[in-house]
Amino acid sequence: MSGILIVAEVDAGALRPEFWELATVARAMSASVPGDVAVAVIGAGVDAAARQAAGARPDKLHVIDDERLANPWPEAHAAALIQLCGELAPRMVLAPRTILGAEMAARLAVRRGWPLVQDAVKLEVAPEGALTAVRPVSGGAVAATVRAGPGPWVVVPRPRAFAPLEPVEQFEVAPARHAFAPPALATACGTPKRIALEGLGVDRARIVVSGGGGLGGPGPFALLREVADLMGGAVGASRVAVDSGWAAQAQQVGLTGKTIAPDLYIAVGISGAIQHLVGCSSSQVIVAVNSDPAAPIFGVANYGVVGDWKEVMTAFRDTLAARAPQSGRAA
């Protein structure tokens, strides 16, 4: 029986960086969850990703390598994970909070009848064997403690809630290869369309400058890009901005977008609806720029500027640009 099974998501042959956060969780929980720590690498052409995952020093490494898993097909990937769990009988499954990872976790929990714990920022196994987890609710304003009975459990940690594990170089573990034998699949997966984004992605950047409906159109995002580039950060957006076609869906921060936890989050022209706050409330510092002093964003911001975003951000950009030659990059 496996103690903990880490789902290593593979994207275009590369190991997704969320894996290293899951590895940190697995290491912390291994003392209270009996059994080995195993990694499941699921995809197509995953040998390089499997070698990377070995850097987490798992006790065992399981690989399902099949062309049907080349694209992010939820039903097929979930079938592969369900198959592995049937063979390995893990006590805890750790999945990344990505679109595909969340789909796999939910389908596994339903199919197996296992409790699903999402957005966990703290985990603990009680002496009697129950799992307790702390997760933010109401846009991060409240921390809720949830309890699941004796496992198995399916756990999806909150992104950036755990520091990524530092991989070990040249750690060898022989992969156990499993043939993919799914049941009849009811859906099909077409070839995904990949959209190249300029600059860093919001989910990995330490600084994010986001724009919302208050910007009035797509043009102002060029100014946000200038500011983000000067700070070495990424450009994000609210759902209003994305739905209006001003920014790409991959830039969306919020309940239906990405959950991020940068060191600094600058919200420009964003009112601060609860759906948006869900995605950014874990930021270390939040700065709000809005012309409406009653905007909800000011209720969670560490610093706020009430004023015309155009004047504020233009002056901020000019200040950063003036400092940049002296330090190479503004702090």
| CA atoms of 261 and 285, how far apart (whole Å) | 9
The CATH number assigned to the domain holding 120 equals: 3.40.50.620
Does residue 172 sit in the same domain as residue 75? yes
Q: Which residues contact 188 (CB under 8 A, 6 or more apart)?
A: none
Q: Is residue 168 packed enough to be buried (19+ CB in 10 Å), middle (13-18) or exposed (0-12)?
A: exposed
| CA atoms of 253 and 233, how far apart (whole Å) | 15
The CATH number assigned to the domain holding 321 equals: 3.40.50.1220
- Between strands 207-211 and 264-268, the pairing is parallel
| CA atoms of 47 and 60, how far apart (whole Å) | 15
Residue 202 lies in a domain: no
For 151-191, write each residue's pLDDT tens digit.
Answer: 899 999 988 889 999 998 877 888 999 999 998 899 888 88
Residue 189 lies in a domain: no
For 220-279, write each residue's pLDDT tens digit.
Answer: 999 999 999 999 999 999 999 999 999 999 999 998 888 888 999 999 999 999 889 988
Categorize the per-residue pLDDT at 308 as very low, low, confident or very high, splitting at 50, 70 and 90: very high
Residue 198 lies in a domain: no
Q: How large is the average pLDDT for residues 84-89?
A: 96
Does residue 148 sit in the same domain as residue 216? no
Q: Is residue 193 packed enough to be buried (19+ CB in 10 Å), middle (13-18) or exposed (0-12)?
A: exposed
Report how many domains make up the chain. Answer: 2
Residue 183 lies in a domain: no
Are the beta carbons of 105 and 92 closer than 8 angstroms? no
Categorize the per-residue pLDDT at 327 as very low, low, confident or very high, splitting at 50, 70 and 90: very low
Exposure class string for 28-50: b at 16+ Cβ within 10 A, else e = ebbebbebbbbbbbbbbebeebb
Greater model confidence, 143 or 29? 29
Give me the count of residues in the chain. 331
| CA atoms of 33 and 266, how far apart (whole Å) | 40
Q: Which residues contact 322 (CB under 8 A, 6 or more apart)?
A: none
| CA atoms of 246 and 208, how far apart (whole Å) | 17
For 288-305, write each residue's pLDDT tens digit.
Answer: 999 999 999 999 999 999
Q: Could you list the residue range(s) of the whole structural domain that residue 320 is in?
A: 207-327
Please tell me the least confidently modeled range out of 66-75, 140-149, 268-277: 140-149
Q: How large is the average pLDDT for residues 31-59?
A: 95
Residue 193 lies in a domain: no
Determine the pLDDT at residue 328. 45
Does residue 106 sit in the same domain as residue 217? no
Residue 256 lies in a domain: yes
Does residue 107 sit in the same domain as residue 250? no
Residue 135 lies in a domain: yes
Specify the pTM.
0.82
Does residue 73 sit in the same domain as residue 214? no
Determine the pLDDT at residue 189. 86
Which helix or strand (DSSP H or E) is residue 86 part of? helix 74-88
- Sheet containing strand 207-211, edge to edge, reads 234-237, 207-211, 264-268, 285-290, 303-306
Does residue 244 sit in the same domain as residue 117? no
Residue 197 lies in a domain: no
Does residue 150 sit in the same domain as residue 227? no
Nearest to residue 192, comparing CAs of 53, 102, 70? Answer: 70
Cα 172 to Cα 17, 26, 50, 53, 58: the distances in Å are 20, 19, 11, 10, 10
Determine the pLDDT at residue 24. 97
Does residue 26 sit in the same domain as residue 143? yes
Does residue 48 sit in the same domain as residue 106? yes
Instruction: Name the β-bridge partners of 9.
Output: 42
Q: Which residues contact 10 (CB under 8 A, 6 or more apart)?
A: 16, 41, 42, 43, 46, 49
What is the percent of the chain where pLDDT is above 70? 95
Determine the pLDDT at residue 326. 54
